[in-house]
A and B are shown apart, each in its own frame.
Chain A
């Protein structure tokens, strides 16, 4: 599903985010991406949805070479990928419902389908009592779930999450992880960037460890 071939990413200022990274993630896999801050986790994720392109090497997602893909194809790649951002990226002037349905509107789903999918995913994430609240009126955990709901509402093949439990208490973090496991059990490939070692141990899934932009260890925890 996702293949990195000798991927290196250098920024113009000279900083190196990734060095010669080669890795494969199979369809339906659940993978943790770990490493200290600045190890290149976020860059790794951003390359998958082509927010970044490699300086050298190749990134292939669902049989498409992401770097050489024409710009007009990028939106269609992104529709196959749900992303949960570390800072959530919610729109403060839109309600919980609008923030989530926004993603379905953008890809041009019929209005009825937009509503039914949004209700469905908000119910699944336990947010159906918060439909008309604005982001600032709900808790951090609920904002996190809003971000996950938006990533899931278009039924992506791949779900990427960048430190999704970073600012949640352990119980809530556990609950969110359970949610990712459920999503994965329906066939969605899931990659989660985190430095929460306890969490990784508890989940017992494959781990890709990055350190200073290089793969330092890969395999099951």
Chain B
């Protein structure tokens, strides 16, 4: 135990010395990781906000079941009972022909005379179905729509499927793009950090050679390099999160942001704290991976 603690203490001391022996290189490593995570973070921020919007939109998604002109009270009762027993439906509201016309006249005041001019009331009666969260995905909505399409008294079933799907597709695209560019930049960061580790190893090769000859274990020699890379990665990740925070604040304060509701859809909120923490952790992991690969390539360490 004492030996392990001593090795750990040595490792931490060596890491600290190593980081300050060449601060420019340490900074370069941290910056490389920081930049890649910053860009990845921007995409995540965008995807996170769009996702929130899609979810909110999804909550408003309703299914309209339009009724035939000749639907009988019995058929309405049967439908009502079926909706009540369907586990995917939380609420079914009946909208009569009169209600429908009034709603139209309220929503489109300039066209309020239109129903009178086309003769009578052209709006069909309908049921508006509120769908439970679990069934609000495109497949769930589709299933519900299909199951009532052929029911007696039903003219047509409609819902805003296209719009929801397109948005969900867009969010997926933003996310994928973010991961793609993030992976590319992470690779560049790996190469940079790996190169700085190799430079450090090269600068200390005499010392490392002697350490090996007097019986230092590989872990004892490699530990400080890995810890240093992890620290640089952690610093890079923290820098990226701080940078994202500052960027987000600055964007929030711009005139364009306040005047344009679209901006609050794409950047209304900052990343949740667990995502920010994960980004920092990814930084540390990147550092360690770069060091491991680089030390393995150096072989003799």
Contacts and interface: CB of A to CB of B under 8 A. Distances in A.
Interface of A: 49, 51, 71-72, 75-79, 83, 89, 91, 102-103, 105-108, 110-111, 150, 154
B206 A107 contact: no
A108 B6 contact: yes
B184 interface: no
Interface stretch (B40-48, B112-120, B213-221, B283-291): B213-221
B6 A106 contact: no
Given A89-B206, A89-B209, A91-B207, A102 B214 contact: yes
Interface centre among A83, A102, A106 (most CB of B within 10 A): A106
A75 B215 contact: yes
Main secondary structure of the interface of B (DSSP, over half): helix
17 contacts: A51-B213, A71-B218, A72-B218, A75-B212, A75-B215, A77-B215, A78-B213, A89-B210, A89-B213, A91-B206, A102-B210, A102-B214, A107-B214, A108-B220, A110-B6, A111-B6, A150-B214
A21 B213 CA distance: 24
Given A75-B215, A108-B220, 6 more contacts: A51-B213, A71-B218, A75-B217, A89-B209, A106-B215, A150-B214
A72 B210 CA distance: 17
Interface residues of B, number: 18
Nearest to B216: A106
Q: Could you say which of B2, B210, B213, B214 has the most chain A C-beta atoms within 10 Å of its C-beta?
A: B214
B152 to A, nearest CB: 78
Interface of B: 2-3, 6-7, 10, 206-207, 209-218, 220
A106 B218 contact: no
Contacts of B209: 89
Contacts of A107: 214-216
Contacts of B215: 75-79, 103, 106-107, 154
Contact of A103 (B7, B214, B217, B220): B214
Contacts of A78: 212-215
B195 to A, nearest CB: 24
A108 B210 contact: no
A129 B215 CA distance: 28
Contact of A49 (B2, B207, B213): B213
B219 to A, nearest CB: 9
Contacts of A108: 3, 6-7, 10, 220
Contacts of A105: 10
Nearest to A81: B215
Contacts of B220: 106, 108
Nearest to B7: A108
A79 B213 CA distance: 9
A90 B212 CA distance: 14
Contacts of B218: 71-72, 75
B205 to A, nearest CB: 11
A132 B206 CA distance: 21
B156 to A, nearest CB: 74
B80 to A, nearest CB: 75
6 cross-chain pairs, A with B, having the tightest CB-CB distances, nearest first: A79-B215, A78-B215, A106-B216, A103-B214, A75-B215, A108-B3
B70 to A, nearest CB: 86
Contacts of A77: 215
Contacts of A154: 214-215
A91 B210 contact: yes
B223 to A, nearest CB: 12
A89 B210 CA distance: 7
A51 B2 CA distance: 30
Contacts of A106: 211, 214-216, 220
A79 B217 CA distance: 10
A79 B212 CA distance: 10
Contacts of A103: 214-215
A34 B211 CA distance: 28
Nearest to B210: A89
A83 B212 CA distance: 12
Contacts of A89: 206, 209-210, 213
Nearest to B207: A91
A50 B218 CA distance: 15
Nearest to B2: A110
Contacts of B206: 89, 91
